[in-house]
């Protein structure tokens, strides 16, 4: 059931193994049969980690549930999975998409440290204006400085659309 991966001593988890261990329903994986350990047949697999993602131990390897669900349906372990609606607990297959890490970063929630209410819009006290900026493919892009916050918000939204950011980027749940 296990096949060697590129890392020495590590094993990848296959679609067959995931389907052997779990049933899927409404974005959740349930144990089919799990002898040993505390988990029981029919119980939802795993627990939620400190970052809000459900994780499951498979063959002594900790895996994120959304990646296992992608593997379950698509037969390949994804590079990076994006929760389209930004809800880390919503692992329904229709809410998941296999994207590059860079694309995944273009659909992030607003940071809890954000004070302007908009991702990419910052008050620069020394200049007494609003700055609009973003990161794209590792480069910091300065969009502009604005006297009015609303103008900075419109500029950042326009730039994100042109750069291909997901429409949910910078929103809050």
Three-state SS at 121:
strand
* Same domain, yes or no: 27 and 69: yes
Q: Is residue 150 pLDDT above 50, yes or no?
A: yes
* Same domain, yes or no: 61 and 90: yes
* Same domain, yes or no: 93 and 122: no
Tokens of 11: 């094993």
The model's pTM? 0.68
How do residues 23-33 score in pLDDT, each as one tens digit?
999 999 999 97
CATH number of the domain that 125 lies in?
3.30.730.10
Three-state SS at 173:
coil
Tokens of 3: 């096949």
How do residues 38-60 score in pLDDT, each as one tens digit?
668 899 999 999 999 999 999 88
pLDDT computed for residue 47 by the predictor: 95
Strands 80-83 and 11-12: unpaired
* Same domain, yes or no: 32 and 99: yes
Q: How many domains does the chain have?
A: 2
* Same domain, yes or no: 116 and 93: no
Distance CA 156, CA 118 (A): 9
pLDDT computed for residue 5 by the predictor: 44
In 3D, which of 151, 152, 147 has the Cα closest to residue 132? Answer: 152
For residue 118, name the pLDDT band (cuts at 50, 70, 90).
Answer: confident
Query: What sign for the dihedral angle of Cα 86, 88, 89, 90?
Result: positive
Domain that holds residue 116: 111-163
* Same domain, yes or no: 22 and 58: yes
* Same domain, yes or no: 98 and 122: no
Q: Of 103, 121, 153, at which residue does a domain stop? A: 103
CATH number of the domain that 55 lies in?
3.90.75.20
* Same domain, yes or no: 33 and 93: yes
Query: 108 with 51: CB under 8 angstroms?
Result: no
């Amino acid at each position: 059931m296990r096949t060697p991966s590129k890392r020495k001593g590590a094993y990848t988890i296959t679609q067959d193994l995931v389907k052997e261990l779990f049933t899927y329903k409404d974005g959740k994986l349930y144990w089919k049969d799990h002898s040993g350990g505390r988990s029981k047949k029919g119980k939802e697999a795993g627990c939620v980690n400190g970052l809000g993602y459900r994780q499951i131990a498979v063959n002594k390897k900790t895996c994120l549930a959304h990646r296992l669900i992608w593997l379950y349906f698509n037969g390949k372990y994804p590079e990076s999975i994006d929760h389209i609606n930004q809800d880390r607990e919503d692992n329904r297959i229709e809410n998941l998409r296999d994207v590059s890490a860079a694309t995944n970063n273009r659909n992030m929630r607003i940071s809890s440290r954000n004070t302007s209410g908009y991702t990419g819009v910052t008050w620069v006290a020394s200049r007494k204006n609003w700055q609009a900026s973003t990161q794209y493919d590792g480069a910091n892009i300065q969009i502009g400085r604005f006297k009015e916050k609303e103008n900075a918000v419109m500029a950042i939204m326009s730039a994100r659309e042109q750069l291909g950011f997901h429409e949910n980027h910078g929103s809050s749940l």
